[in-house]
Chains A and B, each alone.
Chain A
């Protein structure tokens, strides 16, 4: 009897959630006099910005209430020096401040001939710092527990228990098979990359947060660091195979294998970069498109908007679950492929030469 009651409760809560969530999503739609631009809405949510914007309420008298957390703007210009102020001074792009104006998320100088370098603490920076703090405090506290002897001979508890299988997985499935002899040296880097990408991926799924891993600059930096780790682990055997590929005719070796192998050194980290960036940004765009679809239908007729919203929210929840899986998978794939490429860099001779 109690089992049936809890199933009924689950169904009721879920349907209520769908209905309430879709009605809140409709609340901003009244008074949409300006033309709805879905591409602009989606782009605004994907890109970096100088404030955390949670929602906007359009009041009946035409004014808007923005629920935002403004972030500090730090600008350096060789002509005007360093300027620091809160981004609320821009009033969402309607006003200029101190000779700078905000256009479509980017800061430009009002006067021509003034170059400005934007060093602000933006949404992405705040989220990366938050992920960093979480990562460092979590890992150091777990390491201290191991040092004190807890969870070494007995079963670990708490966060130690949750993180230990993940670290063991990265060590036994990613590092040891690919980096046969020297996995201890590379394990800190692989674990850092895995957890940093994972934490930023998971944060990016929360509404109102920053899209860090879907930012090409972030993935380029990770890819370039991996590229240098790979280059610094290469040995003579690796470069010998690139410039003098064994076992093929001389024509093929010089005309085909040399350019292909040389390009391959660069395309492998490039593929890492674009794979992580494209997967995360595509996931966010899909979720945002489903929610924006509600407003597109709503601008045609209010009934269509209301009727479509439970369907749209249900699809968005489904894609959300897939995106959680993709968050873990992409972090794992980046780490795994970096380990594979490092292993290929120092692997040494095979038996099939002679």
Chain B
């Protein structure tokens, strides 16, 4: 059960993290619409990092459940 709780907490973390990235990106696009392509590329790149960290925790939870 600890693994499942851990994976759920990781999902919360990922949601908050990617939400902040999206918020920053959308505000930046609102300030300067010409830069929207670059901002979008950076947003997707940073979101992949945050998701990677969340998936570390999912793998740790999976190992806790299977062992």
Interface residues of A (CB under 8 A from B): 271, 274-275, 277-279, 282, 329-330, 333, 336
Contact = CB atoms under 8 A, between A and B. Distances in A.
Interface in B20-60: 44-45, 48-49, 51-52, 55-56, 58-59
A282 B52 contact: no
Contact of A278 (B44, B45, B49, B55): B55
A278 B56 contact: yes
A330 B56 CA distance: 15
B59 to A, nearest CB: 5
A279 B55 contact: yes
A101 to B, nearest CB: 23
Contacts, number: 29
Identify whether the interface residues of B are mostly helix, strand, loop, or mixed. Answer: helix
B48 A278 contact: no
Which secondary structure characterizes the binding site on chain A? helix
Interface residues of B, number: 10
B52 A271 contact: yes
Contact of A274 (B44, B48, B49, B59): B59
A275 B55 contact: yes
A51 to B, nearest CB: 24
Contacts of B58: 278, 282
A329 B52 contact: no
Contact of A329 (B44, B55, B56, B59): B44
Q: In the complex, which of the residues B44, B48, B58 has the most CB atoms of chain A within 10 Å of its own CB atom?
A: B48
Contact of B59 (A278, A330, A333, A336): A278
A336 B58 CA distance: 24
Interface of B: 44-45, 48-49, 51-52, 55-56, 58-59
A165 to B, nearest CB: 15
A265 to B, nearest CB: 18
Closest 9 CB pairs of A and B: A278-B55, A275-B52, A278-B59, A333-B48, A329-B48, A274-B56, A282-B55, A279-B55, A282-B58
Contacts of A330: 48
B50 to A, nearest CB: 11
B65 to A, nearest CB: 10
Contacts of B59: 274, 277-278
Contacts of A329: 44, 48
B21 to A, nearest CB: 14
A329 B58 CA distance: 19
Contacts of B52: 271, 274-275, 278-279, 333
A197 to B, nearest CB: 13
Of B55, B56, B59, most buried by chain A (CB within 10 Å of CB) is B55
B57 to A, nearest CB: 9
29 contacts: A271-B52, A271-B56, A274-B52, A274-B55, A274-B56, A274-B59, A275-B52, A275-B55, A275-B56, A277-B59, A278-B52, A278-B55, A278-B56, A278-B58, A278-B59, A279-B48, A279-B51, A279-B52, A279-B55, A282-B55, A282-B58, A329-B44, A329-B48, A330-B48, A333-B45, A333-B48, A333-B49, A333-B52, A336-B45
